[in-house]
Structure 1
Amino acid sequence: MATSSEEFFRILNATNSVLVEIQHFPSGDIRGYKIAAEGDTNAAGEPIWYSGSTLAPDLSFPQIRERLTAAEQPTKVTDRSEPAAWNEATAAAERIPAELDQGDDTAAQAHIAAFGEALDALPLLAPKEIRPHLRQAAAAFERATRSRIRAEHAHARSLRGAIRAMRTQPAPRDGAMLAMFLDAAILAVIAARRWHQLRQHDQQVIAARQALVHLQAAYDRAAAVPLAVVAQRIPPAPTVDRLLALVHAAVPAHAQQVLDDHAWAALVTTLADAEAAGHEPGVLLKQAADQRTLDDARSPARTLTWRIQRLTERPVPDRREPPAGVHTVMGTRKTPTPSPAARTSHMDQPKRNR
């Protein structure tokens, strides 16, 4: 939640059972800090202090200051309402697999670290029945957020800003928002595991694998109710058959897997709802499939459902566009003049009998 060093220490000081002592240079600038657990004392009855760097390398004051400085930079989203913050966080999580494939290790490390902070925040925002799974996922993934590679934290401003906005708001009223984020989070963990594996970070690979088990359990519980509510409104059989043909055209490699998926009813209902709202279901399917490969998705139908729901939050495209090759000039339609070659070709054709 902190946006500055001063706010970080204020929050830490206000935390129950935690003692904080800030250390300063002669100039008055902050040099570092140390903390103790209330009641944890030595033989003389004095608190047992630990510096931040003793607890973890990324908890040293220079590391914390660097992350906060990066977070202070403005992000693109200005509307930090609940849907906007969750949608921004989901979009940022969805981009992580692609970011890890870019070849910039310092940027990749920043995205993985920011994602770990997002997992830390989730238990505070989610329904209590899935909090244990989320806490275990965050605790397991913590080791995967750290490596010898130095993180350039400025690359992960968007996710950090969204998580900070989410922390200041109530838990999401719509379970679909949490399910969407968890669906993207699972793919992000799989990508992080693969990234560490390629660099032979064995401990981080194990940590990511453990986090994945708990995250999938949380996702299964979070997604069950929103998907069931949508699936209850499945459209008539002719509509289902027509939309199924679009699925085969958009994702031929996964079409049968989608059809066999227990979330198929939710997907086809979501497509029908989108069509009724004025969207082109075939276009939405293609856009959803192109966002990221479905190869890592345990349930392609669920993944496509969440992606399409997010895509339909955008304005409906204007279908009144002029046909290809026809230009609009000052409110009138103008057909372009044929090229000389086209005119010659037309003149060379034999005249038809009238």
Structure 2
Amino acid sequence: MIPKIITGRGSTRRLIAYLFGKGTANEHVDPHLVGSWNDFAPDPGRSPQRDPKEVEKQLFTQLDQPITMLGSRAPKTTVWHCPVRAAPEDPVLSDAQWAEIARRIVAAAGIAPAGDAEACRWVAVRHADDHIHIAATLARQDGRRPRRDHDIRAAQREARKIEIDYGLRRLKPGDGTAAKRPTSKEHFKAKRQGQDATSREILRKRVRRAVAAASSEAEFFELLEATGMTVRPKTGPSGDVLGYSVALPGDVNEQDEPIWYSGSTLASDLSLPKIRQRLADCGPEPVVVRPGDPWHQATAATERIPHHLTHGDDRVAQGQLAALGGALALLPVTAPDTARAELERAAATFERATRSRIAADHTSARVLRRSVQTIWRNPTGQSDGAALAMLLNAMLTAVAFAMHWHRKHQHAQQEAAAGQAIVHLQTAYAQIAEPVLDNLARNAPTLQTKHRYAHHLKQAVPEHAERIIQDRAWDALAAVLAEAEATGHNAATILDQALNQRTLDDARSPARALTWRIQRLGQRHAPSPRAQAAKARSVAQHTAAPAPATTAGPPLRPPPVRRR
């Protein structure tokens, strides 16, 4: 159940007219009162013998009376409007149940505490099965102001209790960092225009993708315009750009003017100051980074995210999650058509898991951000899908660790978002990885070679060996080991390197995880036979050399303190 508080100025006349009208798309059905401050307020929907407009006037006049009586002493903000919506899967509630819910919401928000006869005047209007609208005026009947400190949080807390009491879908408590939801009006408009998403959601996705792809503020604004949005910078008296707003071409209001959305109204982290901070933190590296395959660099950086989440401080962890969200935002551009839709859903869902009250340190995520930007600029760098499958495999583990990190910090909404993102990522990963693994398996080595690899596996990781050998991906793993051997690598050595990169305990498929690791390691330059022989001699000498005898000296003590 979602209560959403909106405040305004002036009379309740326009609000009452809207609530009892047909709606913007004739969506209002049987509008009528289900509750009011005195339980007998005029009801335009249940007065068949009277002109509905006259009853509406009587209703808003009574609602406005405490404000009118104050005259010049009336507050500037006079109207309190709170739609309360149930989830689509919730049972249809009766008028009496909605009336009780309305009383609980206005009491929790400080509008009309239980038993307070001098509280604010309010009405609850129902014009659909799944929601009501509560309209109130922000002056008590005794002339005082209502005490509604933190009414938004109070209404949300009461909604969580109502969900339990009425057996409704239980929403996750938030921390105030969620992006603003599209309004009902925006949803109806998108439906009329045949769009799957509202303008707000489309703009948010495009702006977030531009933030992930940009290396500078100038490039950010260039990317916004390149995606077809209309951009309006906000400048101060000095001419400095202080913010920005965006609009979709053709999305206009009744006056045929563009409907603008500022970055901060799309999401808190999309305001220009926040974007500038991220771009500054992710600026050029102070040292020269050795060039390499951006897919391998992105995968290696993603594989380090679980370590940051379990061993780093919270600010670094939050920065890693923001970078992971940016990578997911850009990845659909590189994906084949079969998996693009699922990756879009994964990115949109995981977006909620990239923000919390913890300030993000973006500096530790520079490699991931820069490598994914390189991939985005040259998406044709991988042809068979193996590089994308490799990266998605690492992302699945990273998102799973993100879910556990949010659970540890009691970020309920973010934890749920990460869990939903995993489902979409698994589907996309299967669509991309299965053809790649099948293609690799066609080049599986002989049975004798596979037995040799299996023997080493049983010695190196006995706890996972049987599961790996029985996995469908075993032939693909053997194929990449044989390919690495053919390019000069030692199969046992490269397998040990892959095993030492990261534990297999949390891998969904150890065979697949090893396949991607060995394929990445195998594409590196193989050591020469002379270098391999020298390394073997060094290891043998180090193992055979006796440990030097140590002489225990006196224990170190702090110097004596002289007493005067």
Taking structure 1 as the reference length, the TM-score comes to 0.87
Q: Which aligned pairs between 1:1-354 and structure 2 lie closer than 5 A?
A: 1-16=213-228, 18-74=229-285, 76-79=288-291, 84-171=293-380, 172-317=382-527, 318-321=531-534, 323-324=537-538
Q: CA deviation at 1:268?
A: 1.4
Paired with 1:311 and 1:222, the residues of 2 have a C-alpha distance of 21
User: C-alpha deviations, 1:203-248, integer Å up to 9, x for none?
Assistant: 1111111110111111111111221121112222221111101111
Q: CA deviation at 1:78?
A: 4.8
Paired with 1:54 and 1:62, the residues of 2 have a C-alpha distance of 13
Paired with 1:276 and 1:284, the residues of 2 have a C-alpha distance of 12
| Highest RCO, 1 vs 2 (Cα 8 Å, sep ≥ 6) | 1
What amino acid is the match of 1:316?
A: A
Aligned residues: CA RMSD: 2.3
* Contact residue 66 and residue 153 of structure 1 kept, 8 A: no
Q: CA deviation at 1:325?
A: 8.3
Paired with 1:109 and 1:263, the residues of 2 have a C-alpha distance of 34
Paired with 2:403 and 2:288, the residues of 1 have a C-alpha distance of 29
Say which one has the larger Rg: 2
Paired with 2:304 and 2:516, the residues of 1 have a C-alpha distance of 15
Q: 2:383 is paired with a residue of what secondary structure?
A: coil
List 4+ stretches of structure 1 deviating above 4 A: 338-341
Unaligned runs of 5+ in 2: 1-212, 550-564
What amino acid is the match of 1:169?
A: N
Paired with 1:221 and 1:11, the residues of 2 have a C-alpha distance of 30
* Contact residue 296 and residue 387 of structure 2 kept, 8 A: yes
Paired with 1:268 and 1:25, the residues of 2 have a C-alpha distance of 63
Q: 1:23 is paired with a residue of what secondary structure?
A: strand
Moved more, 178-187 or 268-277: 268-277
1:166 and 1:275, CA in 2 relative to 1: closer, same or farther beyond 3 A?
same
User: C-alpha deviations, 1:20-47, integer Å up to 9, x for none?
Assistant: 1111222222211111222222332222
User: C-alpha deviations, 1:157-197, integer Å up to 9, x for none?
Assistant: 11110111111113321311111111111111111111111
Taking structure 2 as the reference length, the TM-score comes to 0.56
1:256 and 1:133, CA in 2 relative to 1: closer, same or farther beyond 3 A?
same
User: C-alpha deviations, 1:246-280, integer Å up to 9, x for none?
Assistant: 11122221111111110001111211222232222
Instruction: State the identity %.
Output: 49
What amino acid is the match of 1:214?
A: H
* Contact residue 444 and residue 478 of structure 2 kept, 8 A: yes
More helix by share: 1
Paired with 2:538 and 2:249, the residues of 1 have a C-alpha distance of 72
* Contact residue 143 and residue 203 of structure 1 kept, 8 A: yes
Q: 1:253 is paired with a residue of what secondary structure?
A: helix
Instruction: Count matched residues.
Output: 329
What amino acid is the match of 1:157?
A: R
1:319 and 1:123, CA in 2 relative to 1: closer, same or farther beyond 3 A?
same
Q: CA deviation at 1:149?
A: 0.8
Q: 1:45 is paired with a residue of what secondary structure?
A: coil
1:114 and 1:270, CA in 2 relative to 1: closer, same or farther beyond 3 A?
same
Q: CA deviation at 1:293?
A: 1.9
Paired with 2:390 and 2:332, the residues of 1 have a C-alpha distance of 16
Q: 1:156 is paired with a residue of what secondary structure?
A: helix
* Contact residue 231 and residue 247 of structure 2 kept, 8 A: yes
Q: 2:230 is paired with a residue of what secondary structure?
A: strand
Paired with 1:214 and 1:340, the residues of 2 have a C-alpha distance of 57
Unaligned runs of 5+ in 1: 328-335, 342-354
Q: CA deviation at 1:14?
A: 2.6
1:292 and 1:8, CA in 2 relative to 1: closer, same or farther beyond 3 A?
same
Paired with 1:326 and 1:222, the residues of 2 have a C-alpha distance of 44
User: C-alpha deviations, 1:293-321, integer Å up to 9, x for none?
Assistant: 22222211011000011111222232130
Paired with 2:318 and 2:305, the residues of 1 have a C-alpha distance of 10
What amino acid is the match of 1:68?
A: L
What amino acid is the match of 1:97?
A: P
Paired with 1:41 and 1:259, the residues of 2 have a C-alpha distance of 60
